[in-house]
Every structure is written in C-alpha cells, then in structure tokens.
Structure 1
Amino acid sequence: MISTAEFVAQADAKDEDGMNGDLWLLEQLGDTALGFAQTTEIAQGESSASFGTRSGEDKVAIGSRILKRVERELNVLLCGDGDEEREDRERLGLSGDALIGIITTALTTGLSVGPQASAIIAALLVRRLVQPTTDELCVYWGERLR
C-alpha cells in the first residue's frame, strides 16, 4: 500500500504527462473496490474467477459509479430536509448554530470585534448570506444529480 502523498504525486504526474489524472484516479478507485470485493469473495470461500482481469475502462466505470453514489449521499446529508439529515448535520457541527459560533469566534479572536457585536454580525451573515447561498447551491446540486 502506498502513502497518500505518493498517491497524489502519481496523480499529478499523470496530469503532467498529458494523461487525464481524473480518469487515472477513477481507475485507482475502481481497482481498490474490485480488490476489496475480490478479497471479500475469497474470504467467503467463493471463486475469484468472476473478477478475472479487469480493463482500465471497467475500473474507471466502477470508480465513477462509486463517486456518483458518494456525491448523492453527500447531497442528501448536506441538503436533505429530513429530521435524520438535520441531526446528522448537527452531530458533524454543520448546523446554522454551529456556523454562527464559528463566525463569532473568528470575528472576536481574528478581528477583535466585541463578543456581543460578533454574535449579531455572525447571525446576520448566516441568515442573510450563508443560508440563501447554501439553499441555491443545494437546488443547483440536486438538479445536476437528476
């Protein structure tokens, strides 16, 4: 197994060589998924012949499918209206209240704005700027995923 830095360096080298680094990354993701699936299948005592030798196109296709699924799941997590999604965002510190706290802290410590003024400014920024922007991004993202 290679380190993350080595992996990123290899991807950068593919871009510099005129190859499409994104396709290479998708192929690597597909290769990793296939390796995991093959390992799981062998561990369960089944034949690994079904995996055989996969072409680069197969690996890219599998990598693309995985990334599309991850993107859909992230969209549901970050933009979903359900109670479960809201709870998950709160647990991850992505709620509006958490963002207000982060902005308040940044204004107070970074710009030496008073704590009371920072809280008011942060609440206004989130309500008038961040929330509408996030809503529009979620609508656009959802349309793109359809």
Structure 2
Amino acid sequence: MNIALQYCHITVTDVDEALSFYRDALGLEVRNDVPSGEFRWVTLGSPGLPVPEFVLSEPHAGRSRADGDAVLDLLGKGALPMIVFRTDDVDATFEKVRASGAEVLQEPIDQPWGPRDCAFRDPAGNMVRFSQRPEA
C-alpha cells in the first residue's frame, strides 16, 4: 500500500494576491481554479510533479462565518502552521523570492539539525520556509 500527500490547503486573505507569490515568485503552476459562490479555490503544483498540490482559499470559503472569522484571526496573528518547501538550491531560491518583494524572515543559514534553510512571509502572513537537504 502506498500513501502520498495529495493536497495541502493554504489559507490566504486574497487569492489573487497569493497567486503573485505562489505562482509568479515560486514558479508553481495553476492546475485548477474553481469558483464557488463569492469564493474560489485555486490549486497549484510543481511543474512535472503530480503531487502534492497546494490549494489556496480564503478563511470564509467553505466555513461558517464564525469559523472563518476565527481562522482569519489566526491568519492575522501569523499563527497558522508554516509551509515548508524543499529546494535543491536554497540560496538561489532565496534570491528569487526576495526579488519578488516578499518579506524576509530568515536569510539562508545552516541549521544545527542538518538542512540549510530560509524563511519568508507570504502576502497573507503565512510563514513559508525553503529547505535544502544537507550534502552527504
């Protein structure tokens, strides 16, 4: 039996603004854009890889008003779980993402537990980290 992650949901305050980060700065490709009433879900993925896919949606999409408000509050505090992407060149990734104007949280460093990584905030305030495997 094989199990693999298929979707990872990323809550954002503005899907179009998030696309400028995830599609334009990171190079993910849009795979689906599904309208649902006043909201929409946009699915992105890494070119050439079928999974995982990343689903961008707003706090109130598919939630009650109260639940959406609670998620929006957590998003505003930067309290939602971080997103970690693996890259084969964290320094080049850092420069590309920084050039997009994204807020830098941590420049590339070698972590004591092994990987070299860096961190940014996406336009909604989510922490997005980029990690490179240590060389053997």
Q: Give yes or no for TM over 0.5.
A: no
What is the TM-score with the length of structure 1 in the denominator? 0.23
Structure (1/2) with the larger strand percentage: 2
Higher RCO, 1 or 2 (CA under 8 Å, sep at least 6)?
A: 2
What is the TM-score with the length of structure 2 in the denominator? 0.24
